Amino acid sequence: MRSRARATVAVGASVLVMLPGFPAQASAGSATAPVRTITKGLDGPYGLDFLSPRTAVVAEGDTGEVTTVDLKTGKQRTIISGLAGPSGVATHNGRIYVQLGGEPVPGAKYPAGALLVADRTGKHVRVLADLMAYELKHNPDGQKQFDDKQQPYDALSNPFSITWTKWGLLVADGGANDVLRVNPRTGKVSTFFVPPNPRTKECLAAGAQANPGTVGCDSVPTGVAVRGRYVYVSTLGAEQPGAAVIYQLDGHTGRVVHKWKGFTSLTGIAVAPHGTIYTSEVLFNAPPGEEPPPGFDPSTVGRLTRLDHGRVTHAAVTMPTGLRYVNGHLYATSWSIASFLRIPKAGQLVDVSRKAFR
């Protein structure tokens, strides 16, 4: 992967510096607001799922915690702590599955790229699968991994999101450029889908690819969702303009049924029962360069995109990543990369209504 999923977000966001007096989420408070803030004070909220219709579960990558949020009161409760870079979270039948990112952390209790499982209270945590080990053994995208000095050309594995399906747990591994299927009982890992490398003009330019012999940008899968018999995957496209893609896949085989092209830096995906697709673009409107222009407002970075049977609209949500569509509501984590702006505890969980999209 040209830039691993979480690091690539960090690189893009690091062009912004902390600006004093940044505004809160624009539409917080009112139950009828287009974007309603449910809770604040999260640190690097990435993955999102639900334990019950009233209880959300958030992976806080910056503090290494898994936190529950009461949707009615906004009350938070840490149920797992001491993790190294949790990025994705999924729930099913009273179990919580937590995906760790691929950055090795000295002294960490669990290996980088590990998929963990715990009970609904966050107890009895254990390793279910090791996705880094799978990448090193199988290398599904076929890219050269190491140079003559056994140094990796680029990130090897960096899982970013996870979802439960009737075909198994599906993990979007941005570093490995694949979507993996994990048996929730045995932990057996298999390859579900390997997106092709985008070959836009920018992706074919010199220096766009770190791995020798690979043509085009890395796909960098970052989001995975399920609706009915289909699986939907969103990609980052190595942050190149127009290189990100949304795939609709057959849930049994991983075969591509349909794809939507021309997006930039997608980081999450959710699908409503009637087929409307929602994606998050955490770096939208981030200025280039090392320093932002004078007076730049970091709250304007990021947006959600809705594909409603061919019609594309957008909603202003600051730095969103995790998305879930539950019981007629679209929920998103926001201010997810605020720590890269040196703004602590700015992360939020928000409820985004249809009228937010224009």
What tokens appear for 293 in the block?
A: 């222009």
Supply the pLDDT for residue 343.
Answer: 87
Per residue in 182-191, pLDDT tens?
999 999 999 9
The boundaries of the domain holding residue 34 are 5-356
pTM of this prediction exceeds 0.85: yes
| Pair 15, 289: CB distance under 8 Å | yes
Per residue in 270-297, pLDDT tens?
999 999 999 999 999 988 776 778 888 9
> Could you give the number of structural domains in the chain?
1
What is the DSSP code string of 3-38?
S-HHHHHHHHHTTS---TT----TT-S-TTSSEEEE
Supply the pLDDT for residue 14.
Answer: 37
In this structure, what DSSP letter does residue 220 have? -
Write the burial class of residue 335 (CB in 10 Å: 0-12 exposed, 13-18 middle, 19+ buried): buried
Supply the pLDDT for residue 206.
Answer: 82
Supply the pLDDT for residue 31.
Answer: 65
Walk across the sheet containing 329-334 and list its strands: 35-42, 347-352, 329-334, 323-326
Supply the pLDDT for residue 20.
Answer: 35
End-to-end CA distance of the chain, in Å? 33
Q: What is the CATH number of the domain that holds 62?
A: 2.120.10.30
d(CA 181, CA 161): 12
Per 3-state DSSP, the chain is made up of helix, strand and coil in percentages (nearest 5) of 10, 40, 50
Supply the pLDDT for residue 12.
Answer: 39
Identify the segments of the chain with pLDDT beneath 50.
1-28
Instruction: Report CA 144 to chain centroid distance, whole Å.
Output: 25
Continuous H helices in 267-309: none
